[in-house]
Amino acid sequence: MSRFVVENAEDTKLLAQTIAKYLRSGDLVILSGDLGTGKTVFARALLASMGVKEVVTSPTFVLVKSYQGVIPIDHIDIYRIYDPDELDILCIGDLLEDGHAVVIEWGERAIGLLGPSYIQITFERLESEISIDEEVAGAAKRFVTVDFNGPRFRDRARQLEAEIETIWSVA
């Protein structure tokens, strides 16, 4: 697990680009954090880094948006879903089995339902003195935690963590 501070939205995008290099077919990425902490900013940069050319819109209302990059990749937002039966309807497990990489905002609600292996990235606000305008413009620092779970990432976790440590000072 790595925990560090990203300086602003550009830095969050750099993190997404860094992680994207390590993603493969069938990987599950869970994005956690309060409203407006940067999950969609991260997801957009991740998808762009994985070769998705079209504009990635927030999937808050459509829930699942599927894209084709270097691999098929789905961007999912389950903010409005609490019931595990409702989550079942989205057939996320099938997408993973079909070789899609899957990125889920508010995805901590799916932990335990989609197998033991996932990368969880958590965004947290720091106490900061910046104005709302600067915050919206992307100037806020965030604590970020990158956590690898399950056997699937065992071979990649150490290498990615080492790369993260060359860019951010890990607590």
Ligand X SMILES: Nc1ncnc2c1ncn2[C@@H]1O[C@H](COP(=O)(O)OP(=O)(O)OP(=O)(O)O)[C@@H](O)[C@H]1O
Positions that interact with Mg ion (CB under 5 A): 39-40, 105
Kindly identify the residues of this chain, within the stretch 46-65, that bind ligand X according to CB under 6 A: none
Please tell me the distance from the alpha carbon of residue 96 to that of residue 8, in angstroms, as a whole number: 31
Least distance CB 59 / Mg ion (angstroms): 8
Cα torsion 115, 106, 40, 159: sign: negative
Residues 1-40 within binding reach of ligand X (CB under 6 A): 6, 8-9, 12, 33, 35-40
Which residues 86-125 are close enough to bind ligand X by CB under 6 A? 105
Nearer to ligand X, 65 or 152 (CB): 65
As given in the structure block, the two tokens for residue 89 are: 């309807």
The token duo for 92 is 């996320």
Query: For the chain, how are helix, strand and coil distributed in percent, rounded to 5?
Result: 35, 25, 40
Which of Mg ion, ligand X, none binds 27 (CB below 5-8 Å, type-dependent)? Answer: none
